[in-house]
Chain A
Amino acid sequence: MAQTAMEINTGKFKVITGISIIGCIFLAYLVVFNVYSIINNTDVSELSLPEYIAVSALTEESPNNAAFKQQISLLKKYYHPDPMHPEYLYIDPNVSEEQKILIKDNLISLGYYSDLSSTDRDVETDGKMFFNGNLGQFFRFKLLGNLNWLAIPLLLYGIVTIRKRKRWEIAFFLYYIVSVILIFKDPYNYRYQMTNQPITLALIFYLINEITSNVFIRKYKSIILVSILILVLINSFKAFIVLNKENNNYLTGNISTENKDKESQLKDHPTKTIFDFINNMPSNSHEWFVVNNLSEFYYYTDKPGLYCWFGNWMGAVTCYWENNKIVVMNPDSDTIDKTPTPGINIKYILHNTKYDAYNNKMVEFLRRRTDIIYTAGDYVIYQIK
């Protein structure tokens, strides 16, 4: 008891209690936030704010919020249809996933988003770049769970109490800080942010265990742990639904494609269908494909193909060749170089419509200069005219 009384009077106890109370409040907030978004089916994390505003504006379903309405009216002011793509204007009141994508594309074409890759990675604005990107290892809730942020206050607690720490604990904290800085430097890829995931959880739960061993907090230990578990379950459930939708039901094993090909179940997956077709094409080692960033072409076939990327907004399509890049097509000058390097005769183009949004100009160019000879799911094989 004497030790307990001493602990009450020490600054250490106050720090621990303070951190715990703040942590509990934040946990409660996250529970409410997650439950609310599930009940209302708003999927806040799924849509970025401009998208949400755009959807609401175009469907006239504005939430009862003055600030939100103001944002919508602002957006309506600046949101003009793209005359090149009138089909993007029609928005059904029951907004489907495809239509949301169209809205996103249209916003990109208006210059609202500067970079589709950033948009796809959820880092298209400065704020998102910082929280989802640089600090994504703590705040990218949708992909990395909603617990990692706890590592920040807990690490601070660990540093405050550094004097009583063992050597290995100090080394552990130091590793963690340095690695966080290293990962901070690459904000684009969530996979890099996942690097420390088990270590972050180990740090969080190691220190939670330590804090909840405190005689005054011990009685709340089970409440804290159950709250954490509920939080994890809610977030995972929500994320599973969102990710499954984003991946065309891939996670539930029911892969479908955007054009809803009814045959596209696992056994007749478009990947298999398209490469069965390519493998059965007459073999001619001089007839090359131009392959638009589809590495599966090389995995499933032995046909030759120039590895390229059509992702530039404008300008020429360049392909890898040895240690250089060679130009094979240029929508601006309306040219295709069928023999860009000796021994190669380009005849076909393998493309996937999922890349269309990256380069609308290229899509137009392909429509003009090629014939479609086969499609499977999102895959398209063009033959150059």
Chain B
Amino acid sequence: MFYNFLSYLILLYIINVLFTGIVALFIYTLDKKKVLSLPQLYLISAAIAPSICSLLIYYLLILIPKQSSLFYVSVVFAVFTYLLIIGRKNLHKLRDSTLTFLQEKKKTEPKIFLFIASALTIFFLAWQIIVVKIPIIRHDTFEYGTWGKVLSERKQINYSNQRFDPTTGFYFVGLHGMNFPIFGTWERFWNDITSSQGDYYFRSVTGWYWIIIVLELLYWLMKKDKVIAFIAATALVLTPAFGASLLYYHLDTYRIAFLVITLSLLLQVIEKPNRLLVLLFGISGGFMANAHSLGFALAGILFILYGLFSRESIKNKIINLLIIGILILVFGAVHYLFDILFGDVWVTWLKLQWKLIQESLK
């Protein structure tokens, strides 16, 4: 039990802390004009880093299937090491800016600093207790977890008949992308390497994105009024379904976090046209689309809104729309394209919808 928990904590540290830091460093290196504030930089990185791991595993299982768990984990580590190498020159700069930012906040707003620090510490402890103590009980979460398990055993994603496992009889009913189930696959690869057991990391995903959503809301409203921001964050945390989602391990916080981030990036890029914001908007939109088919529809809406409201010249707007479209596709929406081209789930679903429309018209 203790060894499993320790193994999980190491994995959590590597993905959610170390990889977040590396992604932040990489974005910081690209952000020449410093359009992102430090809290925003870290929040975006915290959301993106674990999803990059999932996405890499997804592509690897399609392109280089049937390899060992060690192989897949090593490739992910190699990619992040490469990102670290690219950003290494800015490592000290980012570290110094972060420390200066924290010290300044501690000095100028000591009560708020203390409150947020204490709240985060309490959250972290509560989150870990929940993850260890409360098993998965929700039907849908089991389906996602089982799909992650099937992929870890097959070590292959095959779109021709991919939702059914003839060995066990399991049928994955979902239409959505696979990044969320692959968190389970990734954990099982890690378990293989470390000879550990358990699904603590899979259970922890909800909590990680839960706190990102709360902090995003707090961050944006604090720009207007600190008291209002704290009341809004309290209202969010105390929203019964949102509060309880921390315990259900469903993918909702995962998909909502990317919606919040993508929308905030869109609104920002409308006011301040910037190529980095465009890139991040596309990447985050891709993850949002992958997380859930509703996110796919919302990504389409945000894409159109960018076209309507961007202040860029027509030429730049078209270039940016192309970039955003490609990024949304590469970072997640490609799942739906593959499924329509090579699979059958979406096609079957679309046929069913068409039949229902025809019947309702009769």
Chain A positions near chain B (C-beta within 8 angstroms): 142-145, 147, 166-168, 170-172, 174-175, 178-179, 182-183, 190-192, 194-199, 201-202, 204-206, 208-209, 225, 228-229, 232-233, 235-236, 239-240, 243, 250-251, 253, 255, 266, 269, 271-272, 288, 291, 293-296, 298-299, 302-307, 320-323
Contacts and interface: CB of A to CB of B under 8 A. Distances in A.
Contacts of B266: 171, 175
Interface string B234-245: 111011111111
B309 A167 contact: yes
A229 B234 contact: yes
Contacts of B149: 298-299
B169 to A, nearest CB: 5
Contact of A269 (B135, B171, B263): B135
Interface of B is mostly: helix
A201 B232 contact: yes
Contacts of A323: 161, 164, 344, 348
Given A168-B270, A320-B171, A322-B164, A197 B225 contact: no
B256 A250 contact: no
Interface stretch (B47-55, B275-283, B296-304): B296-304
B301 A175 contact: yes
Given A197-B242, A209-B224, 7 more contacts: A182-B297, A195-B252, A205-B232, A225-B227, A250-B247, A323-B161, A323-B344
B308 interface: yes
A272 B135 contact: yes
B312 interface: no
Nearest to A248: B137
Given A195-B259, A209-B228, A233 B213 contact: no
B134 interface: yes
B145 interface: yes
Nearest to A344: B169
Interface stretch (B97-105, B115-123, B214-222, B333-341): B214-222
A269 B135 CA distance: 9
B200 to A, nearest CB: 14
B301 A182 contact: yes
Contacts of B216: 198
A272 B263 CA distance: 41
A236 B136 CA distance: 23
B261 to A, nearest CB: 11
